[in-house]
Amino acid sequence: MAYEFKLPDIGEGVVEGEIVDWKVAVGERIERDQPLVEVMTDKATVEIPSPRAGTIREIAFEEGAICPVGAVLVVIDDGAETGASASVPGNAAEAQAATVGEVPAASSSADPATSDARTEARPPPRAPAPLFRDDGAAQDGGRVKAAPAARRLARQLGVALAQVVPTGPRGRVTSEDVRHAADPSATGEFAVEVPTEINLPAAAAAAAPAPASAPASASAATARAPQRSAGFAPMAIAAQGNEERIPLRGMRKRIADNMQRAKATAAHFTYVEEIDMSDLVDVRQRAKERAAERGLKLTYLPFLIKAVVSGLKKWPQLNAALDETTQEIVRKKYYHIGIASQGPNGLVVTVLRDADRRSIFDLAAEIQRLSRAVEEGTIKRDELSGSTFTITSLGKLGGVMATPIINFPEVGIMGVHEMKQRPAVHKGEIAIRWLMNLSISLDHRLVDGWDGAMFLQDVKQLLEDPTTMFMEMV
């Protein structure tokens, strides 16, 4: 019989995914747990396996298409009798969850628009939450369905989610729904009218009064434009020649949203210091052979992490976050260091958990494992979240200095730059030394300039005199 396999609820507020790569074709015979498709969400790219064996009868979405959670991805003829149950076997569901996260009951809901056209027997569909409810919210077992970003925004604006009218996929409350509930004049039927081209100078456009209403035909893209939060109308780009238009979605959209929020929220300031790495170069060179015996590639990053963790323990205001809903500074007693790096689909921040409890070699092994997982597309969601402080390295590309953007809601990020031999004064004499710049961007709301500078000076001391670093580790 034909089995409809739907895109499961991957969790963390993900409501849709972009089809990246089909691993199968129509007419192909597949086995259970065989990779079916790669799907990219705004969190990560995941590979989804088949929950059962059979023959591919239909592929519902082409590569590059956006598939909502709960929509039919593929139809598989498993050869079973028509009256047989179409539910996913328990062990297959577990295999599926191992790759893309826990699959809740909502993933088995059927689309009423297509269910009547299917004649094969299957479990009765769970009715989707209505778009508008008497209580104004879409709920699942008493819990309002909303993305984490929408929940955070609701707390910030003092909006009760249960009273918000949802417009997202499958009755999910979106951030824009929350904004509309907090200030109806800012969205929906009272949205600002956006012209297709903006001819005013930037200063005049910013000062110009906004119209009071918008036509009902305003596009969904306009209604959801992130620029509204900054007080500017969305900028339309008129076609002027040979151009390519690429939808802003998936990982790129996630990066854009995070960067915009970080710059708009955190009061950034950057402090730069030059580090003499010469002694650490010698220490690493001596340790590389022992690391190689363990199959490890020993870079400078584990040493940097150890120095940073030591500094964070001394300056706990840098290992913190601001709870904007309660106006409390949350100082964290654990040290999960984020490592920002370029992945196949864009910038990712992998997380080294409990860095304070790991040795130099342990850190090197974990860095190696996470880097390989990013390259192979097997990184897990929980390995991309939860960092308390981030390090970003551009040293391989050269450059003197950069001003990294904070990985919000953290309050600090350290940039590592190219290390090169340069003449410097050492012990009263000019010598060729290994020099490198470190830059640290901090949120001035929580961290004073003095504290940030002293933190980096402590990191500098540990890196320039590795023996003190090793004493800190005892």
Separation of alpha carbons 151 and 160, rounded Å? 9
In SS3 terms, 448-471 reads as: CHHHHHHHHHHHHHHHHCHHHHHH
DSSP H or E segment with residue 149:
helix 148-157
- Give the residue carrying structure tokens 């088995």: 108
**DSSP class of 138:** -
Q: Which two tokens stand for residue 46?
A: 């995941």
Any idea which residues carry the catalytic annotation? 444, 448
Instruction: Report angle CA 122, 59, 112 to the nearest 5 degrees.
Output: 40
User: Which tokens is 305 given?
Assistant: 């992490």
**What is the separation of C-alpha 51 from the centre of its chain, rounded to a whole number of angstroms?**
27
First and final CA of the chain: distance in angstroms?
64
Query: Does residue 409 have a cis peptide bond before it, meaning omega lies within 30 degrees of 0?
Result: yes
- For residue 338, the surrounding DSSP H or E stretch is strand 337-343
- H or E segment to which residue 306 belongs: helix 301-314
Q: What is the DSSP letter of 134?
A: T
Beta bridge partners of 28: none
Interatomic CA distance for residues 210 and 189, integer angstroms = 14
Nearest CA to 74 out of 7, 138, 14, 153 is that of: 7
457 C-beta neighbours (distance < 10 Å), count: 12
